[in-house]
Copies of this chain bind each other. A is one copy, B any other.
């Protein structure tokens, strides 16, 4: 392993150009560069070795220029950035020291300098896998936790429908739903995912949306009491079908719309009047809006994991060079559980 102070090769995943339509492997390139394993004095920077990377759907929106974006676009020719779990090699920051494991925004590369340790958090040693801090105990976990408890406002007996149910966020929302006393139905894109949802994750029911020609009828069949809460991960035709099956005072926490991210022209939703007719609250949110819940969330969710009241599934790709494919898998629905890219062993 490379030692602090030496020069090392640094393999990096670069965004070649802005992306139009479906993202593909040719939109990325692997660059091999050199990195000095030391830091300039006088900064508060931290040099880390990256261990796990987190391909997440929101990253697609960073691959194109956008008016009034909620997060800055990537720069073509530069390394992709995203959440990762890393080990500190050199630290100029008082809060971090060598060999600390950290989670935060890092680069899709072997070694990264994190300017002023921005977004980094130290990972507590609580006997749970490091990669969990990119999922159930990280951004997707807080997304599910905050969105479900603070936006959906569940009541026992609510009929909860989750799209993208077998993904990083959806698997958790369904379980939070069961813990809150809801009847929980998931939509996912393969037989295998449906089986996982029903047999392992504890969904009351689930269906493969790709096998349905009439989503509205599918929802009616699986949710005969209709829908009180729709967890929106996908947008487009599923949202339209849900609006035809929603109960009075229905709630739609809008977490994402993954079916739309790679379309040059997003689909139109034409029955929004149902929002008026059924007094529906559709509420978008970003995980960044709920940073103040982080402590409560970590304590509660790590407790549930230790007590085996929450299960969590990961889908790990091995090797930095697999990262572009891993991200594309999300949009093709190939991941089962949270997609993770493992660059190296944690030691």
Binding site for B on A (CB under 8 A): 61, 67-70, 235, 239, 244, 254-257, 260, 265-286, 289
Contact = CB atoms under 8 A, between A and B. Distances in A.
A284 B280 contact: yes
The 6 closest A-B pairs by CB, nearest first: A268-B268, A275-B284, A276-B284, A70-B277, A268-B270, A281-B283
Contacts of A285: 276, 279
Number of copies of this protein chain within its complex? 2
Given A282-B282, A282-B283, A283-B282, A266 B271 contact: yes
A246 to B, nearest CB: 9
A278 B69 CA distance: 9
A22 to B, nearest CB: 17
A272 B275 contact: no
Nearest to A275: B284
Contacts of A268: 267-270
11 contacts: A260-B273, A266-B271, A266-B272, A267-B268, A267-B270, A269-B272, A279-B283, A279-B284, A279-B289, A281-B281, A281-B284
Contacts of A273: 235, 257, 260, 266
Given A281-B281, A282-B283, A255 B276 contact: yes
Contacts of A278: 70, 284
A70 to B, nearest CB: 4
Contacts of A239: 272
Nearest to A260: B273
A219 to B, nearest CB: 13
Contact of A270 (B70, B266, B271, B279): B266
A169 to B, nearest CB: 12
A267 to B, nearest CB: 6
Contact of A286 (B265, B276, B283): B276
A141 B87 CA distance: 62
Contacts of A267: 268, 270
Interface centre among A239, A273, A286 (most CB of B within 10 A): A273
A265 B271 CA distance: 9
Contacts of A68: 244
A313 B272 CA distance: 30
A99 to B, nearest CB: 38
A343 B233 CA distance: 52
Given A70-B277, A235-B273, A257-B273, 11 more contacts: A61-B277, A260-B273, A266-B270, A266-B271, A266-B272, A268-B268, A276-B285, A279-B283, A281-B283, A281-B284, A282-B283
A263 to B, nearest CB: 9
Contacts of A271: 266
Contacts of A274: 284
Nearest to A257: B273
A272 B286 contact: no
A134 B70 CA distance: 44
B282 A286 contact: no
A272 B235 contact: yes
Nearest to A288: B279
Contacts of A257: 272-273, 276
Nearest to A263: B270
Nearest to A256: B276
